[in-house]
Structure formats: structure tokens, C-alpha cells
Structure 1
Amino acid sequence: MSKVTKNPAWMVLRTDGVQITLSKPTEANGLQVDKLHLRAPTVRDVRTATAASGGDDEQRELALFASLAEVSTKDLESLTIKDYNRLQAGYFRLVQDDEL
């Protein structure tokens, strides 16, 4: 019997990425948004974020998520912790290998 992973209502997993509905609107790229989309990461995305972080894991994650969402790290830093946790959950669900 296979286990089905149910995503929360605020997370929509797609073939090209994951869409996260925020708990409250925020500013991203100068616009008010209530959703952020993270595209599926590539090895290059991870390597670039790692190189830019100077060994700081938090900075690496911020740089990676900003790149995938096509927003600035400053935009991500203004998110509430609840919404940042949603981004993290979306990212980890996105890169998780599907169960057979």
C-alpha cells in the first residue's frame, strides 16, 4: 500500500515548481503579492547560492529561494516567519523524491 502525501491548501505543487499562498500580502519586486512561486531548482542554482553565501547556511537558503522566486533577498527578509516557513515547506516538498 502506498502512502499519499497531502499538501496543505496553501501549497500547490506543479510540474514546473510550487506555488505558495502567503498568510498576508507582502511586497515583492515593488508589487503587493499574496502568492510566491518557486521554480524547480537546478544543480547550478544550488552551486551559485552556495558560492555566494560565504559558508553561511541561512544566507545560502535566502539566496537560493530568492533566485527560485525571482525576488530579492530583502523581499524574503520582510516575510513573516509563518510565510517563510511555508516557502521552506514548499521547497522541500518540491525537491522531495516521489515515493514509488
Structure 2
Amino acid sequence: MIKKTPSWLAIAGDRVTVTLTRPSEANGVQVDKLNLRAPTVRDMRTAHQTGGADDEQREMNLFASLAEVSTKDLEGLTLKDYTRLQTGYFRLVQEDEL
């Protein structure tokens, strides 16, 4: 079953663009979209090493790396926008439909 792509999510090869519900600060500027690149094995290993046993911290570290923002920037997102980032991430790493 193919899932419909939400209007706030754009998928282009090895990256996704997530449109936020409201502007948020990222790297000192106001943005209304965040891009996530596809993770590498190195990204995953680094997130596990820096996040320790804390699953939430590992995910925050990984998403911050993929979006090229700080974890503090991600913490400033609304929960709805953070959930959009999670959705975008899972679309990036899911196996293509056969």
C-alpha cells in the first residue's frame, strides 16, 4: 500500500523538505522549512555515541545533524512540527515499494 505524501512534505532523492506550521529559529534565522538529508551509517553511529542510553537524545542528535541545525533549534519547534520531521525522516529511510 502506497502512502500519500502530505502537502507539507517534499521528497527529492536523498532529502526531504518539511514545511513548518509556523516559522522557527534555525542557526539564528527564522525559517518556515527544514531540510533533512538521508542519514549515513556514520550519522547513526555518532548519534548513538553522543546520545548514550537516552533514545530521545539520540534522535535529537541525529535530526540536528541531518538538518544542520542545533538540538536547541529543534527543541524550539512545536511538537506538531517535530512530528513532521519524524515523518520526513521515516520516509527517507523506508524501503521503496516493490
Shorter-normalised TM-score: what interval?
Answer: over 0.9
Stretches of structure 1 lacking an aligned partner (at least 5 in a row): none
Which shifted more, 68-77 or 13-22?
13-22
Aligned pairs, how many? 98
Stretches of structure 2 lacking an aligned partner (at least 5 in a row): none
Q: Which amino acid letter does the alignment assign opposite residue 9 of structure 2?
A: M
Identity %: 68
Render the CA deviation track for 1:40-81: whole Å, top value 9, x for unaligned. 000110010000001100000000000000000000000000
Q: Which amino acid letter does the alignment assign opposite residue 79 of structure 1?
A: L
Q: Which residue of the partner structure matches residue 18 of structure 2? A: 20
Equivalent-residue separation in structure 1 for 2:28 and 2:14 (angstroms): 24
Q: Which residue of the partner structure matches residue 29 of structure 1? A: 27
Structure 1 residue 5 displacement after superposition: 2.4
Pairwise CA RMSD: 0.7
Q: Which runs of 4+ in 1 moved over 2 A?
A: none
With the length of structure 1 as denominator, give the TM-score of the two structures.
0.95
